[in-house]
């Protein structure tokens, strides 16, 4: 069976079908999500926080995204793999964006790329799309701008900010994006954007009326340490489960109950 493509994504919106998206950063986890039928996997620059131990997504490099995206592609058969363009890999302009996106397509084998910005990234989106590279845009809270935002506040509150968000959504669509992520946007505004676009919206902290929903997988599965944002629903408690497994293994080793006779060779 073939991979999901951006044409399947467009058809889903026409049929009014919703779809889930998760992040993935390695082949093994990606294969679990692929087998579970998640149609779109994002090799997000959130790997900076949850996988590489950085404080934000800002330090993530093209080398890091490319290596992990290649692993996710190798671990999957059916999902559309979207690779994030990290901070600094497309802000210089369309030509830099094309160089970065081309590298992800050729070296990692992703089927699409994602970048942050609507109006401000329209020229980049347009050149990539003209070059045959499907682009997912990302507006609202754009974490690569954390230093400008001074944190991770909800976006699009107030009339002026709401109008800007709708302009960003429209600009992404007009530039040729096949979908647009709405992050940390009031639910009513996200619903309005979703109704006004013919491309699907992918919500994260943006209410139930988006066409699709995305979560960072380590948040979704309860592996993240400490507090998770209010919009996250945890579908498992992997941090607890994995910690218990590690403690049980340690106890067995210290108490000489592992390896047992059936684990030994003679
Ligand atoms: O990097 C990421 O995980 C993302 C999603 C939160 C949309 O950009
Ligand atoms: Na991201």
Residue 159 burial (10 A CB sphere; 0-12, 13-18, 19+): exposed
SS3 category, 106: helix
Q: Decide if 217 contacts 33 (C-beta within 8 A).
A: yes
The ipTM value here is 0.99
Which residues share a beta bridge with 204?
183
Q: Pick the residue whose CA is nearest to atom 2 on ligand 1.
A: 44
pTM: 0.97
Residue 45 annotated as lining a ligand binding site:
yes
Q: In b/e form, how buried is each residue of 82-91, taking b as 16+ CB within 10 angstroms? A: bbbbbbebbb
Write out the two tokens for 223: 């592996």
Which residues carry out catalysis? Answer: 183
Tokens 């684990």 sit on residue: 263
User: Does residue 60 have a cis peptide bond before it, meaning omega lies within 30 degrees of 0?
Assistant: no
Q: Which listed ligand is nearest to 136 at the C-alpha?
A: 1
What is the whole-number distance in angstroms between the Cα of residue 255 and the centre of ligand 2? 45
CATH number for the domain formed by residue range(s) 6-235: 3.20.20.60
- Given the CA of residue 215, which atom of ligand 1 is nearest to it? 6
pLDDT of residue 226: 87
Q: Which listed ligand is nearest to 49 at the C-alpha?
A: 1
pLDDT of residue 211: 98
Q: Pick the residue whose CA is nearest to atom 1 on ligand 1.
A: 44
C-alpha closest to that of 126 among 82, 86, 177: 177
d(CA 165, CA 193): 8
Domain boundaries, the chain: 6-235, 237-266
pLDDT of residue 265: 95
Q: Decide if 4 contacts 39 (C-beta within 8 A).
A: yes
C-alpha closest to that of 37 among 5, 78, 82: 78
Lining residues, ligand 1, CB within 6 Å: 23, 42, 44-46, 84, 138, 181, 204, 214, 216
Collect all residues with Cβ–Cβ distance below 8 Å to 105 and sequence separation of at least 6: 113, 133
Tokens 């945890």 sit on residue: 234
User: Does residue 73 have a cis peptide bond before it, meaning omega lies within 30 degrees of 0?
Assistant: no
pLDDT of residue 50: 87
d(CA 45, CA 219): 14
Q: Decide if 10 contacts 16 (C-beta within 8 A).
A: no
To the nearest 10 degrees (0 to 180), the angle between helices 27-35 and 62-74 is 50
Which residue blocks in the chain are alpha helix, DSSP H?
6-15, 27-35, 47-50, 62-74, 94-103, 122-130, 146-149, 159-175, 187-196, 217-220, 238-254
SS3 category, 47: helix
Mutate to test the pocket of ligand 1, among 143, 185, 215 (most ligand atoms within 8 A of CB): 143
Residue 129 burial (10 A CB sphere; 0-12, 13-18, 19+): middle
Q: Return per-residue pLDDT of the chain as tens, 266 residues.
A: 699 999 999 999 999 999 999 999 999 999 999 999 999 999 999 999 989 999 999 999 999 999 999 999 999 999 999 999 999 999 999 999 999 999 999 999 999 999 999 999 999 999 999 999 999 999 999 999 999 999 999 999 999 999 999 999 999 999 999 999 999 999 999 999 999 999 999 999 999 999 999 999 999 999 999 889 999 999 999 999 999 999 999 999 999 999 999 999 99
């Amino acid at each position: 069976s073939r991979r999901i493509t951006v044409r399947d994504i467009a058809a889903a919106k026409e049929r009014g079908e919703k779809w889930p998206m998760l992040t993935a950063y390695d082949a093994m986890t990606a294969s679990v999500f692929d087998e579970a039928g998640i149609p779109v996997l994002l090799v997000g620059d959130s790997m900076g926080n949850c996988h590489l131990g950085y404080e934000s997504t800002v330090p993530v490099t093209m080398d890091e995204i490319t290596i992990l995206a290649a692993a996710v592609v190798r671990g999957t058969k059916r999902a559309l793999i979207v690779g994030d363009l990290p901070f600094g890999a497309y802000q210089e302009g369309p030509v830099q964006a094309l160089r970065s996106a081309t590298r992800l397509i050729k070296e990692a084998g992703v089927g699409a790329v994602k970048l942050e910005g609507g109006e401000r990234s329209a020229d980049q989106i347009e050149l990539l799309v003209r070059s045959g590279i499907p682009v997912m845009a990302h507006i609202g809270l754009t974490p690569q701008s954390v230093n400008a935002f001074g944190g991770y506040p909800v976006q699009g509150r107030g009339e002026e900010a709401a109008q800007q968000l709708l302009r960003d959504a429209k600009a992404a669509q007009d530039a040729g994006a096949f979908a647009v992520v709405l992050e940390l946007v009031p639910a009513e505004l996200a619903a309005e954007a979703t109704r006004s676009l013919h491309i699907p919206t992918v919500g994260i902290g943006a209410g139930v009326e988006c066409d699709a929903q995305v979560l960072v997988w380590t948040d979704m599965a309860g592996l993240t340490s400490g507090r998770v944002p209010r919009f996250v629903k945890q579908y498992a408690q992997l941090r607890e489960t994995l910690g218990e497994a590690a403690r049980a293994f340690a106890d067995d080793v210290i108490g000489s109950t592992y390896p047992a006779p059936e684990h030994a060779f003679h």
